[in-house]
Amino acid sequence: MKKKMNKGTLKKILFYVGRYKVHLFFSIILAALSVAMTLYIPVLAGKAIDLVVGMGRVDFEGMMPCLIGIGILALLTAAAQWIMNTLNNRITFRVVRDIRNAAMKKIQILPLSYIDSKPSGDTVSRIISDADQFADGLLMGFTQLFTGVVTILGTLGFMISINFKISLVVVILTPLSLFVARFIAKRTHSMFMMQAKTRGEQTAFTEEMIGNKKIVDAFSREEKTLEEFDEINERYQKYSLKAIFFSSLTNPSTRFVNSMVYAAVGLTGALAAVSGSITVGGLSCFLSYANQYTKPFNEISGVIAELQNALACAERLFELIEQQPQTPDAENAAVLQNVDGRVEMKNVAFSYSKDKELIKNLNLSVESGNRVAIVGPTGCGKTTLVNLLMRFYDVDEGEISVDGVDINGATRESLRKSYGMVLQDTWLKEGTVKENIAMGKPDATDEEIIAAAKAAHAHSFIKRLPNGYDTVISDEASGLSQGQKQLLCITRVMLCLPPMLILDEATSSIDTRTEIRIQKAFSTMMQGRTSFIVAHRLSTIKNADVILVMKDGNIIEQGSHDELMKKEGFYCELYNSRMDASV
């Protein structure tokens, strides 16, 4: 099963690598060339040493071509190696770049259900860390695995050409180091797992306690927390020591195997030299081959582990890239333009998960220009309604139409452009204040932007920011309060003014005094625009044309404020509960 998956992943990787066929081809040629030349240098050195027999018996003339040959080969090898490395770098980085781009493209068309259900950190780490580790593995594979294999084959050939019997000794003994490495790796795997698990535990604990230090302080829990931390720390140290120590045995152990090979070559070689079947230069050359032959074996076990890791990372990346995207817009999808804003919902059913039904049989008809307020207790489906209107989620059954057009038959872009949306969850893009405001209307003039900001009562605080409208802000580190962020989100919609509006708890973080002022601006804005308002402050929705009272996914009451109050139903109860406070 695992093997099969790897095979599939390998195929996908090859697809991306395939774009750089020419690079790859030259890289392979250069690798073979540089290995061959590297291996030929000791032959020349051996030949030269053979000419240095003893006092007065040195053949300087015969030696010179060898020595000059060494110099020239060294230069050529260097050039080949450098070009090869550059090519490998290029292939790796570009392959990763292409995969990242593909992943990013995918994110834009993933259904929101995927984005809502997966922690964003996990997806980001796929695009960033997994891709990075994949690149590392790929690069190592290209440079080390390939040259390693070529080196092994090459040295083997050269050794056999010098002396077959001694070569046999090397060939038989060297795989020992592989066994040793595998033996150790198997034993240490579980220790690494324990180390990783404890590290995760420690990170989570640190995050929790430092992230919420204010609460830790408030309850004077510093000492207790430190104690708990120490306990995890102690365990981490224990596992870490084991993992580090046992895994670090690999290197000395394989080196020991290598020195045994070296000694065996020395023994058989020297005995052969005594019997005259090999020269001294040949032996010195052979010894240096034996060294070069064993080295890749030590590295290969590491490279294979790295490659496996790279494959696992690639798999996570491809998993993201291959996610089922949202159903694409139909080819003949209608393009909504300058809509009047008649919204109708017919027998709509929807739920986030199959086993928990939420909205059933929802019917609603909104006239153009109507102001619709949606109220109800938490979890009753208010925000879900917004999700369906904007087509962030598609309905399971029934139909939602705008101006009589089924929104599933219209392009998402045209539908969403018809709405202006302000959510409780304020989100700003990294960029200047101005860029954020002009998100829906990139060609807006400064005057328009400032006018919109004034209407949203954001102008006065923007003015006081270090660089005014050109201050760079981002979602996380902006120094803006939640309320200020919300004001910017409102300004964003004030500027582009689409024909329909959705305000989902749009003023929840703003104090009521400012809210009243914004409500006034909203009122002018909503003039002639169909608008949907979700709020739990009842005072803000009293003027709505229709109030939808939702409970457990259904609209249980519907009507104007006065009608609903007369009915003395759930709405009336909700409204009066606020009054209780003042009694």
Partner 1 sequence: MKKLLVYLKGSRLQCVLAPLFKMFEAILELFVPLVVAGLIDTGIAASDKNYIIKMCLLLVLLGAVGLAFSVTAQYFAAKASVSFVKRLKHAVFEHIGKFSYTQLDSAGTSTLITRMTGDMDSVQNGLNLTLRLLLRSPFVVIGAMVMAFTVDSKAAITFAVIIPALSVVVFGIMFFCIPLYKKVRFALDKVLCTARESLTGARVIRAFCKEDEQVKEFKERNDALTVIQEYTGRISALMNPITCVIVNIGIAVLIYAGAIRVDAGLLTQGAVVALYNYMSQILVELVKFANLIISITKSVACAGRISAVLETPVENDDGTEKISAESENIVEFRNVSFAYDGAGDYSLENISFTARKGETVGIIGSTGSGKTTLVNLIPAFYRATKGQVLVGGSDVTEIPLEELRAAVSVVPQKAVLFKGTIRKNMLWGKPGATDEEIMKALEAAQAAEFVMQKDGGIDASVEQGGRNFSGGQRQRLTVARALIKKADILILDDSSSALDYATDAAMRKAIAEWQGDTAVFIVSQRTSSIMHADKIIVLDDGCASVGTHEELLKNNAVYREIHLSQFDEEESA
The least distance separating partner 1 from the CB of residue 12, rounded to whole angstroms, comes to: 19
Q: Which is nearer to partner 1, 74 or 168 (CB)?
A: 74
Q: Kindly identify the residues of this chain, within the stretch 45-74, that bind partner 1 according to CB under 8 A.
A: 45, 48-49, 51-58, 60, 63, 67-68, 70-71, 73-74
Q: Which is nearer to partner 1, 367 or 448 (CB)?
A: 448
The residue among 438, 484, 422 whose CA lies nearest residue 459 is 484
Q: Kindly identify the residues of this chain, within the stretch 386-405, that bind partner 1 according to CB under 8 A.
A: 390, 392
Interface pick for partner 1 out of 23, 156, 160, 288 (rule CB under 8 A): 288
Interface pick for partner 1 out of 203, 327, 347, 460 (rule CB under 8 A): 203
DSSP bridge pairs for 447 = none
**Residue matched to tokens 């034996």:** 290
User: What's the farthest any 2 CA atoms get from each other in the chain?
Assistant: 124
568 binds partner 1 per the rule CB under 8 A: no
Q: Which is nearer to partner 1, 430 or 446 (CB)?
A: 430
578 binds partner 1 per the rule CB under 8 A: yes
Cα 563 to Cα 411: distance, rounded to the nearest angstrom: 38
User: x/- contact string, 484-523, with partner 1 (CB under 8 A)?
Assistant: x----x-------------------xxxxxxxx-------
Residue 139 in tokens: 């690069």
Cα 35 to Cα 20: distance, rounded to the nearest angstrom: 22
Pairing of strands 530-534, 405-406: unpaired
185 binds partner 1 per the rule CB under 8 A: no
Half-sphere exposure of 42 (CA within 13 A, CB side): 23
Q: Which is nearer to partner 1, 6 or 351 (CB)?
A: 351
Q: Which is nearer to partner 1, 386 or 455 (CB)?
A: 386
The least distance separating partner 1 from the CB of residue 312, rounded to whole angstroms, comes to: 20
Q: Which is nearer to partner 1, 32 or 367 (CB)?
A: 32
User: x/- contact string, 112-151, with partner 1 (CB under 8 A)?
Assistant: x--x----x--xx--xx---x-------------------
DSSP bridge pairs for 353 = 356
Per-position b or e across 361-372, b if 16+ CB within 10 A of its CB: ebebebeebbbb
Interface pick for partner 1 out of 7, 21, 429, 520 (rule CB under 8 A): 429
The residue among 547, 554, 490, 562 whose CA lies nearest residue 519 is 490
Binding span for partner 1 by CB under 8 A among 13-21, 249-257, 310-318, 335-343 = 249-257
Interface pick for partner 1 out of 271, 330, 335, 497 (rule CB under 8 A): 271
474 binds partner 1 per the rule CB under 8 A: yes
DSSP state of 325: P
19 binds partner 1 per the rule CB under 8 A: no
The least distance separating partner 1 from the CB of residue 220, rounded to whole angstroms, comes to: 5
- Neighbouring residues of 307: CB distance < 8 A, sequence distance ≥ 6: 137, 140, 141, 145
Q: Which is nearer to partner 1, 28 or 264 (CB)?
A: 264
Q: Which is nearer to partner 1, 360 or 417 (CB)?
A: 417
29 binds partner 1 per the rule CB under 8 A: no
Q: Kindly identify the residues of this chain, within the stretch 306-335, that bind partner 1 according to CB under 8 A.
A: none
The least distance separating partner 1 from the CB of residue 362, rounded to whole angstroms, comes to: 21
- Neighbouring residues of 549: CB distance < 8 A, sequence distance ≥ 6: 375, 376, 555, 556, 557, 558, 564, 569, 570, 571, 574
Residue 284 in tokens: 């010195």
Per rule CB under 8 A, count of chain residues that contact partner 1? 150
108 binds partner 1 per the rule CB under 8 A: yes
The residue among 242, 267, 256 whose CA lies nearest residue 298 is 256
- Counting other chains too, the contacts that 331-336 makes at CB distance below 8 Å and 24 or more residues apart are 333/409, 333/410, 333/411, 334/405, 334/409, 334/410, 334/411, 334/414, 335/410, 335/411, 335/414, 336/402, 336/403, 336/405, 336/410, 336/411, 336/414, 336/415, 336/417, 336/418
196 binds partner 1 per the rule CB under 8 A: no
The least distance separating partner 1 from the CB of residue 582, rounded to whole angstroms, comes to: 6
Q: Kindly identify the residues of this chain, within the stretch 526-565, that bind partner 1 according to CB under 8 A.
A: 536-537, 539
Interface pick for partner 1 out of 274, 332, 356, 562 (rule CB under 8 A): 274
581 binds partner 1 per the rule CB under 8 A: yes
Binding span for partner 1 by CB under 8 A among 4-12, 97-105, 364-372, 561-569 = 97-105
> What is the H or E stretch that residue 455 is in?
helix 446-455
234 binds partner 1 per the rule CB under 8 A: yes
The residue among 363, 320, 331 whose CA lies nearest residue 345 is 363
The burial class, CB within 10 Å (0-12 / 13-18 / 19+), for 253 is: middle
Q: Which is nearer to partner 1, 88 or 301 (CB)?
A: 88
